[in-house]
Structure 1
């Protein structure tokens, strides 16, 4: 079954899985049917590729909208076209942002679609006879389901983690919401389930050939366990998982002339959508040191704010996570556990780094500030803001580190959590929570 036919069917499936879409299904005679996709190993592996594409490609995908929503809410990015009211309301935040915002809705919709498609993999994996291929498909589905739930938990106070079938939806059932702490716990549990599956049966050569190995499942699973555990205050779990991630094995989204880097193509290429902010939007004690080599890497130069990094061309790969994120997780956990000397050791791995598999290097002197918990935590936050620029993580970081919020003077984020998109509220009125004030 050809991949392009599977992708066509994958797109047709969205009419059944996306609660905001029309229920009429238009049939492409050249596309695989839904039954064909879900009833064979080749079909399910094609769907796995489609899930990755939904997440990582295009202006409506989760990856692009995570970068944009996070960047505008935390002063990483600025709107260049002031006539774009959708982006302007994200940059203004506070009461200017409401459920009608289409960029925010795209993030919500894409993440929920990925979650639903992933559940389709899990619900139909029993048709696969080969244990390694089945393990790969199941782990892939679990991974992306957890990624979708965890990412939504960074932006919203409550998250719908369950998947409603099209039949149940037509019968009137709607998803319930969970508080973000419970949603993060669920995402972590899903990731641990995926880890157990690939430890029992490694993904087969067939799976690796047809779906690809650009995402290293053993490392990516542990990296997301570390990330979501840190966000949820599970410090020991975060540290343990971070220690299991290889610092040299990458997990990336790759692009080509057809499937282009979405942040470059939809956000930066025209110089009329969004742009970076000088010094990463950081001021005062958080401002980067002049010699920091990440300034030219991410911003194009000391006096520029071009936003380059992983978004310089249509073909640039975008990392699922930076290996250095794991180092920063270790530093933060140790600092919060008041193991200051050990935290500084990890912190200096970031500051003094001169080589990196993704070429993100600071090339600075070792930390020489106060060896107190508040001072070291502030330095870790600063390094996260620079090292992980435009990775979609700063809004959660800003809350977790207790930085000035939207109602404070010199605020560093313009929202604490986002309002719920109208696309959800209009179709799930009974269960959608009230919007947070900010």
Structure 2
């Protein structure tokens, strides 16, 4: 993946909107001079991944993990000199529209979305049908990841690139992302990606399965349970789809945080979970996500408590994990009041082993609770609570906890036993200063 780093330079030339303010405004239109041949489109598609995943503290991946974890007590700041992260961990009015996490999350995701739209608008110029379908699938994936990430933190989001871009409600944004994913999935099914495309794109993503996984993820967030069920059921749980890294294009969470003890780490060995949400005794996912060995002898440095997918510069990060798809199905069934089916899917997660014998029994990444089947009350509330507890453990520090806390109706800001310090984030100053259509900031 070393070639991906150099492609970031190409992407930076093609990003949108220079203005006389301090930062780029991704919602401001500018003239584009883009070679629309496949020789330019495929590198530009590669650049989408570069912007989403790499760049350390600037990357979308870093900022969504930091935001989701620090807003919910999943992560704790180790050094209050990291002012931006510390203010996210305080939440409330301490998290304002000048915050760097808020700004980077917004601007980088919007730049990914804008450049994905540019690729999609010009994909028809690729003369080969297989190359076109590959380009459309790849750009649709990163467009959806960008919009879906923004919808986890902001109430409204612009989805077009123009001056004074209008804002759209987050549920409509999620549906927009799903519609594009469905179009790409149909095109890819009709015409698989060409050998030429596959040879020139950064390896790691399983296009067909990732399209379905993201349809499932964002349909669930939008409340479309039937669509989420169907799409999650189409994902082959024995196939990996990952963002690859190396010593040049580094795993952004290991590089910035999990490779040291200066920025943040898991709040506790129980992932910051207490009470009814605390991990069950013997849950073997905890040793996967938490360093459980004895501390090193002095003067060796104490390692970060966090582990999981952030263990080295070259550690791959999954786009989704199999357990997410199973828990999407469990939640969708529970919200449709099909409780027996919900428990069946929940048990596929609870009883997973580390041996990848079959999707029902093993996990390709070794994320395996090895717990007994669910034995709690056969009520929607009780089953949903266990689904949430398993989401919190199965998907530890992957950026979903704020969205999950809100969707499951957990106590929020100002409530007794609050489990999150914000419901939604304020809009960054860069957007407000350049776009008069920016809505009022949420109260909390």
TM-score by length of 1: 0.91
Cα offsets for 1:269-300 (capped at 9, x unmatched): 22110011211111011111221111111011
Rounded Cα–Cα distance in structure 2 between residues aligned with 1:21 and 1:145:
25
Rounded Cα–Cα distance in structure 1 between residues aligned with 2:250 and 2:193:
27
Match of residue 285 from structure 2:
294
Match of residue 66 from structure 1:
64
Superposed counterparts of 1:15-164, under 5 Å: 16=17, 38-58=35-55, 59-164=57-162
SS at match of 1:231: helix
Deviates more, 1:114-123 or 1:382-391: 114-123
Match of 1:420 among 416, 423, 427: 427
Match of residue 329 from structure 1:
328
Q: Is the CA contact (8 Å cut-off) linking 2:16 and 2:111 kept in structure 1? A: no
Q: Is the CA contact (8 Å cut-off) linking 1:19 and 1:427 kept in structure 2? A: no
Match of residue 27 from structure 1:
none
Q: Tell me: CA distance 1:84–1:35, structure 2 relative to 1, closer, same or farther (3 Å).
A: closer
Deviates more, 1:302-311 or 1:365-374: 302-311
Q: Is the CA contact (8 Å cut-off) linking 1:20 and 1:424 kept in structure 2? A: no
Deviation at 1:37, TM superposition (A): 5.8
Rounded Cα–Cα distance in structure 2 between residues aligned with 1:359 and 1:344:
22
Rounded Cα–Cα distance in structure 1 between residues aligned with 2:294 and 2:339:
34
Deviation at 1:248, TM superposition (A): 0.9
Q: Is the CA contact (8 Å cut-off) linking 2:367 and 2:394 kept in structure 1? A: yes
Deviation at 1:334, TM superposition (A): 1.1
Deviation at 1:96, TM superposition (A): 1.1
SS at match of 2:76: strand
Q: Is the CA contact (8 Å cut-off) linking 2:178 and 2:218 kept in structure 1? A: yes
Q: Tell me: CA distance 1:205–1:418, structure 2 relative to 1, closer, same or farther (3 Å).
A: same
Q: Tell me: CA distance 1:285–1:19, structure 2 relative to 1, closer, same or farther (3 Å).
A: farther
Rounded Cα–Cα distance in structure 2 between residues aligned with 1:37 and 1:57:
23
RMSD: 2.1
Deviation at 1:177, TM superposition (A): 0.3
Match of residue 318 from structure 1:
317
Cα offsets for 1:8-51 (capped at 9, x unmatched): 2222223647896779xxxxxxxxxx989633212111111111
Q: Tell me: CA distance 1:124–1:82, structure 2 relative to 1, closer, same or farther (3 Å).
A: same
Match of 2:272 among 272, 281, 296: 281
Rounded Cα–Cα distance in structure 1 between residues aligned with 2:284 and 2:95:
35
Rounded Cα–Cα distance in structure 2 between residues aligned with 1:21 and 1:130:
42
Rounded Cα–Cα distance in structure 1 between residues aligned with 2:174 and 2:291:
35
Q: Tell me: CA distance 1:35–1:379, structure 2 relative to 1, closer, same or farther (3 Å).
A: closer
Match of 2:378 among 371, 375, 399: 371
Q: Is the CA contact (8 Å cut-off) linking 1:17 and 1:113 kept in structure 2? A: no
Q: Tell me: CA distance 1:246–1:19, structure 2 relative to 1, closer, same or farther (3 Å).
A: farther
Q: Is the CA contact (8 Å cut-off) linking 2:258 and 2:264 kept in structure 1? A: yes
Q: Tell me: CA distance 1:15–1:238, structure 2 relative to 1, closer, same or farther (3 Å).
A: closer
Deviates more, 1:113-122 or 1:299-308: 299-308
Deviation at 1:185, TM superposition (A): 1.2
Rounded Cα–Cα distance in structure 2 between residues aligned with 1:20 and 1:152:
22
Q: Is the CA contact (8 Å cut-off) linking 2:7 and 2:50 kept in structure 1? A: no
Match of residue 384 from structure 1:
391
Rounded Cα–Cα distance in structure 2 between residues aligned with 1:56 and 1:132:
26
